[in-house]
Amino acid sequence: MNRSSLSRPARLLCAAGIAVVLAACQGRHDTAAAPQQADASPAPASAAPPVSLIPLPASVEHGEGRFDLTAATPLLAEGEGARTVATQFATLLAKGFAVEPALADGTGVAGAIRFAIDPARAGAGAESYLLEVAPEGVTVSAGDAAGLFYGAMTLLQLAAADDAGAVTLPAVRIEDAPRFGWRGFMMDPSRHFWSVDQVKQVIDAMALHKLNTLHWHLTDDQGWRVEIKRYPKLTEVGGCRVPAGDGGIEPSTGEPRQYCGFYTQDQVREIVAYAAARHITVVPEINQPGHATAAIAAYPELGSTDRKLVPSSEWGVFPNLFNTEESTIAFLEDVIGELIPLFPGTYFHVGGDEAVKDQWEASPRVQERMREVGAKTEMEMQSHIVARLEKFLAAHGKRLVGWDEILEGPMPPEATVMSWRGIEGGLKAAREGHDVVMSPSSDLYLDYLQTSSPDEPPGRPATIPMKQVYDFEPVPAALEEGQRHHILGLQANMWTEHTRTFERLQHNVFPRLAAVAETGWTPQARKDYAGFVQRLPAQLERYRRWGIGYAQTPFQVDATAEDDRKAGTAIVTLANPLGYEVRYTNDGSEPTATSALYAAPVPVTLPAALRAAAFADGKALAAPRTFVYDAASMLSRTDEQLATCPDAGRLLLRLEDDGPADGERAIFNTTIFYPCWQWNGADLEGVASVKVRAGRIPYYFQLAHDEPARRFEPARSAHGELDIHAGGCGGERIASVPLPAAPGADGFVDVVAPLAEELAGRHDLCLRFTGDTRPAMWVLDRATLQLR
């Protein structure tokens, strides 16, 4: 939509500010009792554990006293590996606390921190470490450099500064080792591109969480993001797309505006080396045979269609597949062959997901090729290509990883499966003797929304709150004991179709990635969600110190109100998504730790204003939010406050507008299969009409075999109608008004629908737009009841 400004009406819920968070507190017990957590349960107890570490170590013993850490504290390290870790520790300490101790010579210096790689500790396991802090000195020891690095990261988390800036470490003995060898995070630059510096920021954050695998999704329908010297068009053509709608138009000229980006091979080497220095292995992904539009656009001879393709500005599942020719398999081998020297790790990911076979089924040449190789089905043809790539990779000392669709045909025994469509694929793979990385979309996709707050950025359907992420167990209870060793670990994925800025990426990832990290590292018997939530405020302080952006929404207060229009009153319900205690004021003052503690819904007389914040250990976790209620506001609902119609389909999305090309854009909650909103229990007493503020955005989705599920009500006039039904969408139509050809200059239009008759009492109002949703769809921004 074109607009000169975004004049979206003010929300009922107003909030702003930066979080004020709590540093780790010192105490005497490894864990402290905490009340039940919820997603709407009582708040954590105020007594913090003595070491608020994330992930929680395997074993912690508390001592007496503390160690004072200053710039004069000597760091002792023998050997290159130990000296490297000591230097990394000093650099991060300086960044977080402005205290930078230096390496010193000698072994018996008093009051020192000693880093040691001790071969005698090799039996404790890879990545394990021992950390001992006493008032007279500190020792971090491990059997390998990775373990020593993780010990240093724990030491960094132990550091706490008092009000004067003095840094201390509590006396403690920690013996620790990871539960899983694959503790991963997937970053997607194909949909939205991330700079070298931004990738490094993610790697730094992963290291602080003791994650050790970065899965780099380098190719997809929307962009090819890595230089291949033998095939330069992959980045010249495949590395650029024109975004849909106004976002793809240069405002000053009206010409197409391209969105481009790729990594040179030198930049890849730089990133891989940067990750390796932090004991993170980078696993590249080159997707095939599907998600190949950008590559086929660059080299049409690779495709299975005669239609000219361009890198897509749409999202979803596309029909465009690489063809099955020997020359195309050779192309894939050429690409992988150029990349293998850049990625020294063991694994190479070849995709394999969402490869819709329509083009192969319709192609006489593909069918002939299937007969040539003995493939009875299209899935067996895909398996033939996977087997060829597996042999190529094995010949170069690599192991193949693919999404769980590769299980649908014959699969090389050496292949590793990444289970994303739930855990069932992982169960099947492990029982067949394959290694598995658990990465189910139901629990570990961080582009899904994390709260129901109206402040959430654009995201994918449904909500995956913190507790759901934390509670995910990578080893299914149904898996036989003898096959459990095949579960290598877990991985969180961050797809970026709807993530246009790095700030939004950080919002989606943190702090949920902390929950993933604890599952990957901490022994299962030690995991405790209540304790994790209790330790989380200290982790937020670390994020602030080390420049990691994180979501404010889990630490804010949300509010809902039920009004009695005749009485001029309302009942306001307050809640924090993570169950922290909520305190509020009704006199305009800022809530403090001594303000009224929320314990039950608050009755108010309109007009009224409440300010509320969530607290832990007497400190506000985020800036307070202000909730204003008056007679007018109670007659209005935003799209976030409206429900999804029961028959509106399964794919609720939080979508961003297509314009302006730069800057802030409006955001809408809508279902793309059947756009429909429902105002449940709307009080229609004295209501003459309903005013709907609507926007219009491009329909930029490919649905593949889900296309038949897309529905819309046929238009009865040139541009469709706004229809309103009482009693749900199957009830009586009580209002209808024609829609204009386009929204106004600001990108919105106000449509007023007079009610056909006066209705008394409360009704479930169904609001929907008629007409095909392609090529553009109407979306609801706000609905307002207008009185007679």
Q: Tell me, what's the pLDDT at 461? A: 80
Residues 6+ apart with CB under 8 A from 601: 571, 572, 573, 574
User: Residue 74 corresponds to which tokens in the numbers above?
Assistant: 């000597």
Regarding whether 63 and 200 lie in a shared domain, the answer is no
pLDDT tens-digit map of 456-488: 999 988 899 999 999 999 999 999 999 999 999
- In this structure, the strands spanning 74-77 and 701-702 are unpaired
Domain membership of residue 617 (yes or no) is no
- Rounded to whole angstroms, the Cα distance separating 304 from 382 reads 13
pLDDT-derived band at 38, boundaries 50, 70, 90? very low
3-state DSSP helix/strand/coil % of the chain, to nearest 5: 25, 30, 45
H or E segment at 161?
Answer: strand 160-161
CATH number for the domain spanning 160: value is 3.30.379.10
pLDDT tens-digit map of 60-111: 999 999 999 999 999 999 999 999 999 999 999 999 999 999 999 877 788 9
- Rounded to whole angstroms, the Cα distance separating 461 from 236 reads 33
Contact of 748 with 657, CB cutoff 8 Å = no
Q: Tell me, what's the pLDDT at 651? A: 78
pLDDT-derived band at 141, boundaries 50, 70, 90? very high
Residue 345, pLDDT above cutoff 50 = yes
H or E segment at 367?
Answer: helix 364-373
Residues 6+ apart with CB under 8 A from 393: 336, 340, 348, 350, 399, 400
- Rounded to whole angstroms, the Cα distance separating 144 from 177 reads 12
Regarding whether 301 and 214 lie in a shared domain, the answer is yes
Strands (E), 26-111: 59-69, 74-77, 102-103
Regarding whether 232 and 216 lie in a shared domain, the answer is yes
Q: What percent of the chain has pLDDT over 90?
A: 90
The terminus-to-terminus CA distance of the chain in angstroms comes to: 33
Regarding whether 371 and 247 lie in a shared domain, the answer is yes
Regarding whether 231 and 144 lie in a shared domain, the answer is no
Range of the domain at 710: 636-787
Domain membership of residue 34 (yes or no) is no
What mean pLDDT do residues 415-443 have?
98
Q: Tell me, what's the pLDDT at 255? A: 96
Residue 1, pLDDT above cutoff 90 = no
Cis peptide before 511 (omega within 30 of 0): yes
Residue 21, pLDDT above cutoff 90 = no
Domain membership of residue 587 (yes or no) is no
The size of the chain, in residues, is: 788
pLDDT tens-digit map of 173-223: 999 999 999 999 999 999 999 999 999 999 999 999 999 999 999 999 999
Is the alpha carbon torsion for 26, 27, 32, 34 positive or negative?
negative
Residue 15, pLDDT above cutoff 70 = no
Boundary-marking domain end, from 475, 493, 527: 527
Regarding whether 406 and 314 lie in a shared domain, the answer is yes
Residues 6+ apart with CB under 8 A from 572: 559, 560, 561, 601, 602, 603, 604, 608, 610, 627, 629
User: Residue 143 corresponds to which tokens in the numbers above?
Assistant: 């059997």
8: helix, strand or coil: coil
CATH number for the domain spanning 252: value is 3.20.20.80
- Rounded to whole angstroms, the Cα distance separating 714 from 143 reads 69
Residues 6+ apart with CB under 8 A from 545: 95, 96, 97
Boundary-marking domain end, from 154, 176, 198: 176
Q: Tell me, what's the pLDDT at 17? A: 31
DSSP state string for 678-733: EEEEEE-TTEEEEEEEEEEEE--EE-GGGGGG---PPPSSTT-EEEEEESSTTSEE
- Positions marked active-site: 220, 291, 354
Tell me 470's DSSP state: H
Please, is 487 exposed, middle or buried when counting C-beta atoms within 10 Å of its C-beta (0-12, 13-18, 19+)? buried
How many Cβ atoms sit within 10 Å of the Cβ of residue 341?
Answer: 10
Which among 288, 275, 283 has a CA at the least distance from the CA of 215? 283
How many Cβ atoms sit within 10 Å of the Cβ of residue 189?
Answer: 22
Which conformational region is residue 290 in: left (phi greater than 0), alpha (psi within -120 to 50 degrees), or beta? Answer: beta
pLDDT tens-digit map of 629-638: 999 999 999 9
Domain membership of residue 43 (yes or no) is no
Regarding whether 245 and 158 lie in a shared domain, the answer is no
Which amino acid type is present at position 216?
A: W
Residues 6+ apart with CB under 8 A from 83: 77, 103, 115
DSSP state string for 597-654: EP-SPEEEESSEEEEEEEEETTEESS--EEEEE-TTGGGEEETTTSEEPTTS-S-EEE
Cis peptide before 660 (omega within 30 of 0): yes
**What's the mean pLDDT when you consider all of the chain?**
93
Comparing 129-133, 186-190, 229-233, 652-656, the range with the smallest average pLDDT is 652-656
Residues 6+ apart with CB under 8 A from 747: 1, 2, 3, 6, 657, 659, 666, 695, 696
Cis peptide before 607 (omega within 30 of 0): yes
Domain membership of residue 621 (yes or no) is no
pTM exceeds 0.75, yes or no = yes
Regarding whether 464 and 438 lie in a shared domain, the answer is yes
Regarding whether 489 and 368 lie in a shared domain, the answer is yes
Q: Tell me, what's the pLDDT at 106? A: 76
pLDDT tens-digit map of 551-577: 999 999 999 999 999 999 999 999 999
pLDDT tens-digit map of 392-424: 999 999 999 999 999 999 999 999 999 999 999
How many domains in the chain? Answer: 3
Regarding whether 290 and 218 lie in a shared domain, the answer is yes
CATH number for the domain spanning 696: value is 2.60.120.260
Contact of 198 with 214, CB cutoff 8 Å = no
Q: Tell me, what's the pLDDT at 16? A: 31
pLDDT tens-digit map of 264-282: 999 999 999 999 999 999 9
Tell me 463's DSSP state: E
pLDDT-derived band at 649, boundaries 50, 70, 90? low
Domain membership of residue 622 (yes or no) is no
Domain membership of residue 396 (yes or no) is yes
Boundary-marking domain end, from 176, 208, 231: 176
Domain membership of residue 583 (yes or no) is no
Regarding whether 435 and 310 lie in a shared domain, the answer is yes
Regarding whether 235 and 103 lie in a shared domain, the answer is no
Q: Tell me, what's the pLDDT at 50? A: 63
What mean pLDDT do residues 580-603 have?
98
